[in-house]
Structure 1
Amino acid sequence: MFGQCSNAKNNIKIHTVDKTFRCELCDKIFRYISQLKIHMRIHTRDKPFKCEVCGTMFGDGSHLRIHAGDKPFKCDVCGKLFGNNSHLKVHMRIHTGEKPFKCETCDKMFGVISNLKVHMRIHTGEKPFKCDVCDKMFGDSSHLKVHMRRHTGEKPFKCEVCDKMFTRSSHLKVHVRIHTGEKPFKCEACDKMFTRRNNMKRHMRIHTGDKPFKFKVYDVMLI
């Protein structure tokens, strides 16, 4: 493999299939030849861009800019800055709502291909991320990260009003409604408002008569 990589520059063959460019070493497909050339540096280990401060070398000039804190590409909608134009283009889908990547199993759409790949694990059952403490498996590395806080006790999200700490930002968001009085969930039957969706669903059983929990009643003889 190393010999193959070292001779990669001499063995690059560009194949065009429907105006796309394929890497001969790993079969990855690119839309533009410039992207393929940058990608080839992974195989050749060519890193022509050097940080003048710490000497770290990079194969992509945009990676050097990110490393240096230089973010010349700005979102015109929200002002967020990016180290390269491709990251800005992906970000813009948040504002435009564009979702070009489709799950062939359930037709769900995604704005980023990496999110589609993570989603596919729901269908395949793949769980490549393992907790080293309890061996529980996860399909997403972020879920493992949150899970680990159960073992470490880490609670990085703090309520600015009462200083209560939380393991998840979503838990903090719900908690803050206690202080703000916000109740975003409304009962369609009686207009009662709730801070949590689960509380509203539980309340709805009053109107629907739904009793999801069944209990056996035993005859008890009192002596």
Structure 2
Amino acid sequence: MAHTEEKPFQCDLCDSAFSKKDPLIKHARRHTREKPFVCDLCVSAFSEKGSLTQHMRTHAGEKPFQCGLCDSAFSEKGHLTQHMKTHTGEKPFHCDLCDSFFSQKEYLTQHMRTHTGEKPFQCDLCDSFFSRKEYLTQHMRIHTGEKPFQCNLCDSAFSQKGSLARHMRTHTGEKPFQCGLCDSTFSVKGHLTRHMKTHTGEKPFQCDLCDSFFSRKEYLTQHMRIHTGEKPFQCNLCDSAFSQKGALARHMRTHTGEKPFQCDLCDSAFSEKGHLTQHMKTHTGEKPFHCDLCDSFFSRKEYLTQHMRIHTGEKPFQCDLCDSAFSEKGSLTKHIMTHTGEKPFQCNLCDSTFSQKGHLTKHMRTHTGERPFQCGLCESAFSEKGNLTRHMRTHTGEKPFQCDLCVSVFSYKNNLIQHVKKHRTEAFLV
């Protein structure tokens, strides 16, 4: 039969025909997806006995097919055949739609799907389709949880070989991906791709609800939560929830008290990197934020924003219990305590409590006798800055308090108050 090429064994489900019965049986399993050959060492199963034999070599580590030109060895003969083309440079398979050439027929087949969009490999557990069988194999591990690629330096395991390769660089410190425009290097190619956008300014990801653009898809995903109000990251110690994973990580430090960001110039430590950056300006004296309406400079943008309200008169923080409004949120918080009577700041040396931390700080000086505000013109020292300000007027002769009813001026506000009372008394007597 083989010599006459007669093929009497016909497949009932397609047009394939075979000269022998055994090839028809193997072929039929493509339609039925029957896999009768099961591995005794894992959950893998195969439609052909030869495939099981090849698979067993992955457990045994056996590689009987040796390259005669280098030290490479392979578990399958076909893999050796493919490998030999890396030495010869042979690429006999040509794409009819573009100028691409390939060393293996299956590479050409896979490439053609980039033109046709064909995805013949379907997942049996979900609706996913794939253009290559190995992509389906990798995908199936999402369902099975299988992680066959084990790190030999720690307990980490991965579902993909490439993930293990990237992980190994965390041990070796290797960063093979070099930026061609600066000295930055990266352990993962994707990180280099994202970095390059800092040079090009490319922002291909646009928000459909506003005009915002982003250089990375995950930045767009985070931004969308501003519109949706979604907060998927939940604290397991309180009811707080956050739109970003990093915000949850920072919040957790309020529970643990962790302050991993240490100042190199003093003993200060901070729970957030941004707070350390702000703190460093107290050492350098840097004040990069300038007011356009006066000569004031500030170390932080929010300080400039607060300062601008002095010029504009804006008071955006409104009390819900009275008509008071404030230019700073902290001032509103302090004001609210006048309504609630709350005094959360407790002296640890007596029973006194205070509504503001600054009041407690001043109070503590009555116990310690500390007088940190020193006059530069005499030996006087004071426990409060305001007392030093008033004292300085004895040296300067300044009298900033003007009577509205006569030409009298005073160094101290209390003296003006007493003076005004005299006017009122005289007016009453007349």
Normalising by structure 1, we get a TM-score of 0.78
1:115-166 Cα shifts (integer Å, max 9, x gaps): 2112211111111111122211111111111011111101122222213111
1:25 deviates by 2.8
Work out the CA distance in 1 between the residues paired with 2:168 and 2:89. Answer: 31
Choose from 180, 195, 202 the match for 1:147. 195
Work out the CA distance in 2 between the residues paired with 1:189 and 1:103. Answer: 33
Does 2:125 match 1:82?
no
Match of 2:62 in 1: 19
Match of 1:197 in 2: 245
1:32 counterpart letter in structure 2: E
Choose from 209, 228, 231 the match for 1:180. 228
Change (3 A) 1:36 1:164: same
Work out the CA distance in 1 between the residues paired with 2:72 and 2:104. Answer: 17
Match of 2:407 in 1: none
Work out the CA distance in 1 between the residues paired with 2:247 and 2:375. Answer: 38
Work out the CA distance in 1 between the residues paired with 2:89 and 2:216. Answer: 39
CA RMSD, 1 decimal:
2.8
Among all aligned residue pairs of Structure 1 and Structure 2, give the percentage whose two residues are the same amino acid. Answer: 46
Work out the CA distance in 2 between the residues paired with 1:117 and 1:59. Answer: 25
1:109 deviates by 0.8
Q: Which runs of 5+ in 1 are unaligned?
A: 1-15
Alignment check: 8 A CA contact 2:233 2:241 kept: yes
1:23-74 Cα shifts (integer Å, max 9, x gaps): 3334334332112212222222232323233464311122112221254333
Work out the CA distance in 1 between the residues paired with 2:164 and 2:70. Answer: 21
Normalising by structure 2, we get a TM-score of 0.43
**Based on CA coordinates, which of the two structures has the bigger radius of gyration?**
2
Q: Secondary structure at the match of 1:191?
A: coil
Change (3 A) 1:36 1:74: farther
2:222 counterpart letter in structure 1: V
2:227 counterpart letter in structure 1: H
Alignment check: 8 A CA contact 1:71 1:82 kept: yes
Work out the CA distance in 1 between the residues paired with 2:77 and 2:161. Answer: 20
Q: How does 1:8-87 map to 2 (within 5 A)?
A: 19-20=62-63, 21-54=65-98, 56-69=100-113, 70-76=118-124, 77-83=126-132, 85-87=133-135
Does 2:219 match 1:171?
yes
1:104 deviates by 0.9
Q: Secondary structure at the match of 1:25?
A: coil
Q: Which runs of 5+ in 2 are unaligned?
A: 1-56, 260-268, 271-275, 283-371, 377-430
Work out the CA distance in 1 between the residues paired with 2:257 and 2:189. Answer: 41
Alignment check: 8 A CA contact 2:120 2:129 kept: no
Work out the CA distance in 2 between the residues paired with 1:59 and 1:40. Answer: 10
1:205 deviates by 4.7
2:83 counterpart letter in structure 1: H
1:190 counterpart letter in structure 2: C
Alignment check: 8 A CA contact 2:222 2:243 kept: yes
